[in-house]
Amino acid sequence: MEQEKGGKDKIRMNTIKNLFLPLSLCFIASFAMECPVDTTVDLAAAYSEIGSAIDYKAKVCGHGPGYPLLLPNTPSAYGVKLCALTIIRSECPFNDYPLFCLEIYSEVCDLCDLPLIGP
């Protein structure tokens, strides 16, 4: 009877040892996925992308807004892409910047983070 009990204990210990490594790897992998990722863009690259979109749309429509679009020091990548795409897709006349360009300022302005829009 004690041999049976000792055999079951060995099986139980082997099972625990065999499950420990995969479970610990899953835990570490899931923890690593939750680490924050830098989603900002270099200021020069942001000005280049949005400036290209503004220039393109101004050529298509014949004119652009009479005021510059100033960017924060650390614009979000999502905001820059969203703004550039909505500028290109906007209808003529191109007098103002699209509302979606406010998303660029979501990192520095809580009120500028548009509800239901964002990654």
Three-state DSSP state, 43: helix
For the residues 68-74, what does the mean pLDDT come to? 94
Whether the full predicted model's pTM is greater than 0.75, yes or no, is no
Of residues 49 and 105, the one with the higher pLDDT is 49
Q: CA-CA distance, 47 to 73, in Å (whole number)? A: 11
119 assigned to some structural domain: no
**pLDDT above 80 (res 112):** no
To the nearest whole percent, how much of the chain has pLDDT over 90?
49
**How many separate domains does the chain show?**
2
Whether residue 83 sits in one domain with residue 48: yes
Average pLDDT along the chain: 82
Indicate if 10 and 62 belong to the same structural domain: no
Asked whether residue 118 is domain-assigned, the answer is no
Q: What is the domain extent for residue 16?
A: 1-35
61 and 11 fall within a common domain? no
Task: Give me the half-sphere count of Cα atoms (radius 13 Å) on the Cβ side of residue 35.
Answer: 7
pLDDT at 10: 65
